[in-house]
Amino acid sequence: MQVSSSERGLVRLFAVDVPSEEIEAFRAQVNGVDGALLSWPLKEALGFTYLDEDFIELFPVSDLEEMGLTGYMVEGLGIAQKDVAEDSARLAAQKGWVLIVLSAAFDGVAQSLSPKAPLRWIGTYKEDGAPVHFEPLPDASAKGPASTQSTVLPAPSSNPHLTLLLAILALPLVALVLGAFLFWIL
């Protein structure tokens, strides 16, 4: 499987043929003292060079309850119903664990995937993009060609530095007036 650097919107689905009691060992990354990745069985099974784990999902199909894998693909991942329709029987029959890898997991790094056991590729699906619909702008002023004359805005009439200087000089005067007022009241 080839992943291009410009890939966007693809969802790769794999069956994970690992018993539930061994899934944590399959998912876990083992790092060395220096923080370098020593082993990651999931990485080794998928055969990738770069993967952002924030964009992969590993879960048992039973967690989806009534929705099922087909429903999750459509409602949860945004795959068009027509795209999963031909695989719906295979998706509905899927038991055990599945791995979902989104295009964003590759973060624009071109690479080749060479999945091997315990992974079994089920399919690659495209996220359904929202249809683009152009409507005319409602205001009459939005119609017609744009003016080619440049408009120059007038410069502000006050200098902000001068305003700040006057405010700083006025503070002691305000403090004296307030102090005199409080002295007169007490």
pLDDT on residue 96: 92
Contact between 11 and 79 under an 8 Å Cβ cutoff? The reply is yes
pTM of the predicted model as reported, rounded to 2 decimal places: 0.65
Contacts for 17 with CB less than 8 Å, ≥ 6 apart: 96, 117, 118, 119, 120
How many residues make up the chain in this entry? 186
What is the model's pLDDT at position 151?
Answer: 61
HEC string for the chain:
CEECCCCCCEEEEEEECCCHHHHHHHHCCEECCCCCEEECHHHHHHCCCCCCHHHEEEEEHHHHCCCHHHHHHHHHCCECHHHHHCCHHHHHHCCCEEEEEEHHHHCCCCEECCCCCCEEEEEEEEECCCCCCCCCCCCHHHCCCCCCCCCCCCCCCCCHHHHHHHHHHHHHHHHHHHHHHHHHHC
Distance, CA of 41 to CA of 13 (rounded, Å): 17
Domain range annotation of the chain? 2-126
pLDDT of residue 99: 92
Q: What pLDDT shows up at residue 84?
A: 86
The residues near 68 (Cβ < 8 Å, ≥ 6 apart) are: 61, 91, 92
pLDDT by residue for the chain (186 residues), tens only, comes to 888 887 788 899 999 999 999 999 888 888 778 877 778 888 888 888 788 888 989 999 999 888 889 889 988 888 888 888 888 888 888 999 999 999 888 888 888 888 888 999 998 898 876 555 556 656 666 566 666 565 666 655 667 777 788 888 888 888 888 888 888 887
Task: Tell me phi and psi for residue 174, to 5 degrees.
Answer: -65, -40
pLDDT of residue 6: 79
